[in-house]
């Protein structure tokens, strides 16, 4: 997905699609019987997370060549999930024609965009984990699971659905210990963070608001949204 900006001025943070490389065994299995491969990386999110930028594409090329695959070509497109990717890939038409499959080192948005644009089998080399932001150098945190029922107006802008390991929305579990989470003791219990934030804002009354049981079935898939005026 294209990066989105949040914050202002020096606080600008880029929202990214966070990915990790599939295991070598899985990539080998997905490419079994496919001898000629064109590799595509992306210049945005996966370059930042070092899962599908130029160095990773070249490493993949070396690795697959050593395994006897013929790499018909490779490239790193500027923004894989953008419709302009088609035009960019036109320059590689012959190399793509020669390939059995496209090995795509982008997030799932990029893979699906390219799959729609080209009549070729696609194999994703990465797993897409979540939409997140960089919180420290090389560290990415999920910020929203897009649950469809946002409650952060009552939790001081801190999301328990995403940040509590149990997704609890009505206060902490019994395992919270000195402000730390029982599942990951290195992590603050999100309900301690929410309490502290609401106290700071003199809005502790919001802690008493009962959140109704949540619909974990979520929206029917695939999700759709229509402007009411459209
Ligand atoms: S409650 Fe959390 S997961 Fe749900 S929409 Fe709001 S921020 Fe996202
Ligand atoms: S300790 Fe806090 S963050 Fe961890 S699971 Fe329990 S309520 Fe959630």
Contact in structure between 71 and 64 (CB atoms under 8 Å): yes
Bridge-based pairing of strands 13-21 and 126-136 is antiparallel
Shortest-distance Cα residue to atom 2 of ligand 2: 189
Residue 111 lies in a domain: yes
Q: Which domain holds residue 123?
A: 4-129
My answer on whether 87 and 173 are in the same domain is no
My answer on whether 56 and 91 are in the same domain is yes
Alpha-carbon distance of 131 to 13, in angstroms, equals 13
pLDDT at 138: 80
Residues in the ligand 1 pocket, defined by CB under 6 Å: 144-147, 150-152, 159, 161-162
My answer on whether 85 and 181 are in the same domain is no
pLDDT tens digits, residue range 192-228?
999 999 999 999 999 999 998 887 766 667 767 777 6
pTM for this entry:
0.80
CATH classification at residue 30? 3.40.50.11860
Residue 36 lies in a domain: yes
Residue 169 per-residue DSSP state: S
Q: Within its chain, how far is the Cα of 34 from the centroid?
A: 27
Average pLDDT, the chain: 89
Distances (CA, A) of 151 to 163, 182, 208, 211, 222: 13, 23, 13, 8, 23
Residue 188 per-residue DSSP state: B
Closest listed ligand to the CA of 155: 1
Closest listed ligand to the CA of 171: 2
- 83: helix, coil or strand? coil
For a mutational test of ligand 2's pocket, the pick from 160, 165, 186, i.e. the residue with the most ligand atoms closer than 8 A to its C-beta, is: 165
Residue that is written with structure tokens 């309900």 in the block? 191
């Amino acid at each position: 997905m294209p990066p989105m900006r949040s914050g202002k001025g020096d606080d600008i943070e880029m929202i990214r699609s966070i990915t990790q490389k599939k295991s070598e065994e899985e990539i080998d299995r997905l490419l079994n019987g496919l001898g000629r491969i064109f590799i595509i990386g992306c210049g945005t999110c996966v370059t930042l997370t070092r899962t599908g930028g130029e160095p990773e594409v070249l490493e993949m090329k070396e690795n697959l060549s050593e395994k006897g695959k013929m790499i018909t070509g490779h490239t790193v497109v500027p923004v894989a999930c953008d419709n302009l990717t088609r035009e960019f890939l036109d320059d590689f038409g012959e190399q793509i024609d020669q390939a059995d499959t496209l090995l795509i080192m982008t997030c799932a948005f990029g893979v699906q965009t390219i799959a729609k644009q080209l009549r070729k089998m696609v194999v994703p080399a990465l797993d897409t984990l979540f939409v997140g932001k960089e919180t420290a150098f090389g560290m990415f945190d999920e910020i929203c699971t897009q649950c469809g029922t946002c409650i952060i107006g009552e939790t001081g802008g801190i999301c328990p659905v995403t940040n509590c390991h149990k997704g609890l929305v009505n206060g902490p579990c019994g395992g919270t210990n000195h402000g730390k989470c029982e599942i990951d003791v290195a992590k603050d219990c999100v309900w301690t963070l929410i309490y502290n934030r609401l106290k700071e804002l003199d809005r502790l009354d919001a802690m008493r608001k009962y959140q109704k049981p949540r619909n974990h079935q979520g929206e029917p898939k695939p999700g759709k949204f229509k402007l009411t005026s459209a």
